[in-house]
Structure 1
Amino acid sequence: MGILDRIFGASPSASFADAPKTIARGGGIVQAWNSYDMDSPVLAEFLRDGKVSSGGVTVNEMTALRNSTFFRAANLIASSIGMLPTHLMRLRPDGTREKAKDHPLYRLLHKRPNSYQTAFEFKSYMQLLALLDGNAYGLILRGLRDKPVAIVPLARKSITPKLSADWQLSFEYRRPSGGTVKLPAQDVFHFRHPMTRDGLKGIDLLDVAVNAIGIASQAERAAGKMLKGGVMAGGALETDASLGDEAIENLKVSMRERSMEGENAGEWLVLEEGMKAKPFIASAKDAQYDEMRKRQAEEVSRFTGVPRPLLMFDETSWGSGIEQLGLYFVTYCLMPWFVAWEQAIERSCLTVAEQDADELYVKFNEGALLRGSLKDQADFFAKALGPNSAYRTPDEVRGAFDLNPIEGGDKLPVATAVATPAKPSKESADD
Structure 2
Amino acid sequence: MSPDDYRRNAGYRRSAATQIAIPAGPVQAFESMTFDSPVLGEFLRGGRQAIGGVSVSEKGALRNSTFFRAVQLISASIGMLPMHLMRRTVDAAGVERIEKAKDHPLYRLLHKRPNSFQTALEFKSYMQGLALLDGNAYALIIRGLRGKVVQLVPLKRGSVTPKLSDDWKLTFEYRRPLGGTKTLSAEEVFHFRHPVSTDGLKGASLLDMAVNAIGIASQAEVAAGKLLSGGVMAGGALETDKTLGKEAIENLQESLGENHGGAENAGKWFVLEEGLKAKPFIASAKDAQYDELRRRQAEEISRFTGVPRPLLMFDETSWGSGIEALGLFFVTYCLLPWFVAWEQAIERSCLTEAEQDADELYVKVNEGALLRGSLKDQAEFFARALGSGGGEGWLTQNEVRGSFDRNPIDGGDRLPVRATTPTKQKEPGNE
* Range of TM-score over shorter length: 0.7 to 0.9
Distance between the aligned counterparts of 1:308 and 1:269, measured in 2? 44
Residues 59-115 of structure 1: per-residue CA shift (max 9 Å, x gap)? 121111111111111111000000001111111124111111111111111111111
Residues 136-158 of structure 1: per-residue CA shift (max 9 Å, x gap)? 00111111111111111111011
| Closer/same/farther in 2, CA of residues 277 and 414 from structure 1, 3 Å limit | same
Partner SS, residue 69 of structure 1: helix
- 1:336 maps to what in 2? 337
- 1:231 maps to what in 2? 232
Partner SS, residue 89 of structure 1: strand
- 1:290 maps to what in 2? 291
Deviation (angstroms), 1:271: 3.9
The answer on 1:210 being equivalent to 2:207 is: no
| Aligned residue type for 2:143 | R
Distance between the aligned counterparts of 1:326 and 1:159, measured in 2? 36
Distance between the aligned counterparts of 1:323 and 1:175, measured in 2? 47
- 2:25 maps to what in 1? none
- 1:22 maps to what in 2? none
Deviation (angstroms), 1:419: 3.3
| Aligned residue type for 1:115 | S
Deviation (angstroms), 1:116: 1.0
| Closer/same/farther in 2, CA of residues 220 and 416 from structure 1, 3 Å limit | same
Task: Report 1:407-422 matches (<5 A).
Answer: 407-422=410-425
- 1:369 maps to what in 2? 370
Task: Report 1:306-321 matches (<5 A).
Answer: 306-321=307-322
| Closer/same/farther in 2, CA of residues 243 and 199 from structure 1, 3 Å limit | same
- Tell me if structure 2 keeps the 8 A contact 1:197–1:203: yes
Match of 1:58 among 55, 59, 63: 55
| Aligned residue type for 2:82 | P
- 1:67 maps to what in 2? 64
Distance between the aligned counterparts of 2:257 and 2:125, measured in 1? 50
Partner SS, residue 96 of structure 2: coil
- Tell me if structure 1 keeps the 8 A contact 2:83–2:110: yes
Match of 2:392 among 359, 365, 389: 389
Partner SS, residue 199 of structure 2: coil
Partner SS, residue 287 of structure 2: helix
Deviation (angstroms), 1:319: 2.3
Task: Report 1:85-96 matches (<5 A).
Answer: 85-93=82-90, 94-96=95-97
Deviation (angstroms), 1:273: 3.4
- Tell me if structure 1 keeps the 8 A contact 2:85–2:107: yes
| Closer/same/farther in 2, CA of residues 302 and 233 from structure 1, 3 Å limit | farther
- Tell me if structure 1 keeps the 8 A contact 2:83–2:363: yes
Higher RCO (CA 8 Å, separation ≥ 6 residues): 1
Task: Report 1:11-410 matches (<5 A).
Answer: 47-93=44-90, 94-256=95-257, 261-280=262-281, 286-386=287-387, 388-410=391-413
**Segment drifting more, 269-278 vs 293-302:** 269-278
Residues 340-360 of structure 1: per-residue CA shift (max 9 Å, x gap)? 000011111111111111011
Distance between the aligned counterparts of 1:236 and 1:419, measured in 2? 90
| Aligned residue type for 1:413 | P
Partner SS, residue 213 of structure 2: helix
Partner SS, residue 140 of structure 1: strand
Distance between the aligned counterparts of 1:138 and 1:256, measured in 2? 65
Percentage identity across paired residues of the two chains: 73
Partner SS, residue 90 of structure 1: strand
Distance between the aligned counterparts of 2:140 and 2:177, measured in 1? 15
Distance between the aligned counterparts of 2:112 and 2:326, measured in 1? 30
| Aligned residue type for 1:411 | R
| Aligned residue type for 1:82 | G
Partner SS, residue 426 of structure 1: coil
Partner SS, residue 289 of structure 2: helix
Partner SS, residue 85 of structure 2: strand
Distance between the aligned counterparts of 1:236 and 1:426, measured in 2? 103
Q: Report the aligned-residue RMSD.
A: 2.4
| Closer/same/farther in 2, CA of residues 204 and 284 from structure 1, 3 Å limit | closer
Any stretches of 5+ residues in structure 2 without a counterpart? 1-34
| Closer/same/farther in 2, CA of residues 106 and 249 from structure 1, 3 Å limit | farther
**Segment drifting more, 249-258 vs 182-191:** 249-258
User: Normalising to structure 1: TM-score of the pair?
Assistant: 0.84
Deviation (angstroms), 1:235: 3.5
User: Normalising to structure 2: TM-score of the pair?
Assistant: 0.84
- Tell me if structure 2 keeps the 8 A contact 1:308–1:316: no
Distance between the aligned counterparts of 1:356 and 1:398, measured in 2? 35
Deviation (angstroms), 1:242: 2.7
Aligned residues: 388
Distance between the aligned counterparts of 1:385 and 1:130, measured in 2? 41
Partner SS, residue 177 of structure 2: coil
